[in-house]
Amino acid sequence: MQEIKRLVPSLPVVMITKSEEENIMEQAIGQHIADYLIKPVHPNQILMCLKKHIHSREIISNATNRSYREEFSDISYMIQTAATVEEFAAIHRTLVKWDLELQNVDSPMREMLNQQRKEANAVWAKFISKNYEQWFVSGDRPMMSPDLFKKVVFPALDRGEKLFFVVIDNFRYDQWKIIEPLLTEIFTVEDEQVYSSILPTATQYARNAIFSGLMPLQIQQMWPDLWVDEEDEEGKNLNEKDLIKTLLGRYAKRYGFSYYKINESDFCEKITGQLKQLRSPLNVAVINFIDMLSHSRTDSKMMRELCNNESAYRSLTLSWFRHSPTYNFFRTIADLGYKVILTTDHGTIRVDNPVLIVGDKNTNTNLRYKVGKSLACKEKNCFELTRPKLVGLPCPNVSSSYVFCTGEDFFAYPNNFNYYAQFYNNTFQHGGISMEEMLIPLVTMRPK
């Protein structure tokens, strides 16, 4: 066995033996045996073993393509009839499942899947355009960013559980599914939900809403010192710890808490080393790597090459999580017996269609949404909020409105339109309306 592996390391080796001794099996597994059959062996067992290791890729590819073809019409029907956030969440989960399965096989079905996703996003955008304002007028909205602490975090704390609330910035549902196998080695998933981010799907709005339990306009009105306007140059998320304090105070929760914002590996290692000294029942951590990855991919040619499509973007996420101190951070949390609520503030989408927009000089720079006066966009699929206060958004000016991109569009100005259209094409952006940006994971895990 050792000699075969030395000569041809990649050659699959199957052991056939009548020995059932545990140490023999352990030795074989330790030598990276491909399969292990106990005598007496039927010829069909050998045939299936050969198929498994010689033709498995082809067999899996054919079976996956066939299964997706069979489910294609069901998915189309789900898209055509979806009328609630829960139904769109089911569509999003299904499309992500097939995206992950088809990425590992040679499949002509990928283009069909991409078309279904575009169709689903178009229907989702119409659904949001029709219902978003009404959710706030009627007060009957689905669970959104400001509701997480009230509906998920506080009930766990009130049951006496010690908790880590972890927000991975810019973390999509498919990225959760790709790292889930690593986390389920140390945690048991008690609950997995998909909830909706508020608009704009940007950190300034969505994450501040999570930590305050308020809509952005309410933050601005109740805690003006803790809200940073679009035109201000200072960081938009420097007051998260103070917002958590106001949230605990409003609900008369006397729980002590800790708060960490993790931007660098060295700091993550330092925090991990200090976890044993924690005494607070509530601990909040914000992890910024994926947001940094998204932005660096826009600015760096090398990063564009490294993750030039959705599969590569997910693969880089998995590689980071597996090999960074973040994984050890979660391991330590599990060893200390903390339950984890893992979520994000918003997702991101790969854009490829520039849309012309005109606005005044004070209009913000985000590519997926604009806020300002006299905004003019000829793209019929854009969604405009002309009464921002109605949906809990601040108004920089009396006549300010918000305009959002849908699908895979992104905004560009008339000046140097072609340059910016080319530069930002095929980059990952957030702030607008898509299932990838708005329908995001909320996962509760307990340590094994």
Supply the CATH number for residue 175's domain. 3.40.720.10
178, 295: one domain: yes
Distance of alpha carbon 198 from alpha carbon 154, whole angstroms: 20
Contacts of the segment 9-14: beta carbons below 8 A, 24+ positions apart: 12/53, 14/49, 14/53
Residues 155 and 278 in one domain: yes
User: How confident is residue 290, by pLDDT bands cut at 50, 70 and 90?
Assistant: confident
Kindly state the percentage of the chain with pLDDT values over 90: 72
Which among 104, 138, 172 is the end of a domain?
138
Q: What pTM value is reported for the model?
A: 0.91
Domain membership flag for residue 354? no
- Taking residues 380-384, what's their average pLDDT? 92
Q: Which residues of 401-419 are buried (b: 16+ CB within 10 A; e: fewer)?
A: bbbbbbbbbbbbeeeeeee
Residue 124: pLDDT band by 50, 70, 90 thresholds? very high
Range of the domain at 91: 68-138
Q: Are residues 43 and 83 in the same domain?
A: no
Would you say residue 393 lies in a domain?
A: no
Residues 197 and 104 in one domain: no
CA separation for the pair 318, 104 (Å, rounded): 15
Cross-strand pairs, 167: 286, 343
**Least confident residue range of 103-107, 198-202, 364-368:** 103-107
- 231 vs 217, more confident: 217
Pair 48, 91 in one domain: no
Identity of the residue numbered 273? G
pLDDT of residue 136: 95
Q: How confident is the model at residue 412 (pLDDT cuts 50, 70, 90)?
A: very high
Residue 159: CB atoms within 10 A of its CB come to: 9
Domain count, the chain: 3
**pLDDT averaged over every residue in the chain:** 92
Statement to judge: residues 150 and 295 lie in one domain: yes
| pLDDT(210) > 80 | yes
* pLDDT greater than 80 at residue 294: no
Which pLDDT score, from 0 to 100, does residue 339 have?
Answer: 98
Are 303 and 181 part of one and the same domain?
yes
Assess whether 161 and 297 both reside in one domain: yes
Domain end residue (candidates: 83, 112, 138):
138
User: Is 251 part of any domain?
Assistant: yes
The verdict on residue 372 lying in a domain is: no
One domain, residues 90 and 49:
no
Q: Do residue 265 and residue 287 come from a single domain? A: yes
Q: What is the mean pLDDT of residues 275-291?
A: 94
Instruction: With cut-offs at 50, 70 and 90, classify the pLDDT of residue 176.
Output: very high
Q: Cβ contacts of residue 304 below 8 Å, gap of 6+?
A: 297, 426, 427
> Any idea which of 86-90, 127-131, 356-360, 402-406 has the lowest mean pLDDT?
356-360
Distances (CA, A) of 294 to 339, 346, 410: 28, 13, 15
Distance CA 198, CA 393 (A): 10
- Phi/psi region, residue 426 (left: phi>0; alpha: psi -120 to 50; beta: rest), is left
CB-side exposure of 437: number of CA atoms within 13 Å? 31
Q: Is the pLDDT of residue 287 over 90?
A: yes
Residue 69 has pLDDT above 80, yes or no: yes
Q: What pLDDT was estimated at residue 443?
A: 98
98 and 139 in contact (C-beta within 8 Å)? no
* Banded model confidence at residue 164, pLDDT cuts 50, 70, 90: very high
Please compute the mean of the pLDDT values over residues 186-198 and round it to a whole number: 98
Q: What is the pLDDT of residue 304?
A: 75
Better pLDDT: 58 or 124: 124
Beta-carbon-side half-sphere exposure of residue 2 (alpha carbons within 13 Å): 2
- Asked if residue 357 lies in contact with residue 377, where contact means CB atoms within 8 angstroms, the answer is yes
pLDDT at 127: 98
Task: Tell me if 345 sits within 8 A of 442, measured CB to CB.
Answer: no
Q: Are residues 46 and 193 in the same domain?
A: no
Distance, in Å, from the CA atom of 132 to the CA atom of 127, rounded to the nearest integer, reads 8
Q: Return the minimum-mean-pLDDT range out of 73-77, 283-287, 297-301.
A: 297-301
Q: Report the distance separating Cα 420 and Cα 54, nearest Å.
A: 48
pLDDT at residue 105, as a whole number: 79
Q: Does residue 394 contact residue 135 with C-beta atoms inside 8 Å?
A: no
Question: Does residue 59 lie in a domain region?
Answer: no
Say if residue 321's pLDDT is above 80: yes
| Low-confidence winner among 104-118, 224-238, 343-357 (lowest mean pLDDT) | 224-238
Q: Which amino acid is residue 259, in one-letter code?
A: Y
Does 4 have pLDDT greater than 80? yes
At 396, the pLDDT band (50, 70, 90 cuts) reads confident
Are both 168 and 221 inside the same structural domain? Answer: yes
Could you say which of 11, 30, 54 is where a domain stops?
Answer: 54
Mean pLDDT, range 298-310, rounded to an integer: 77
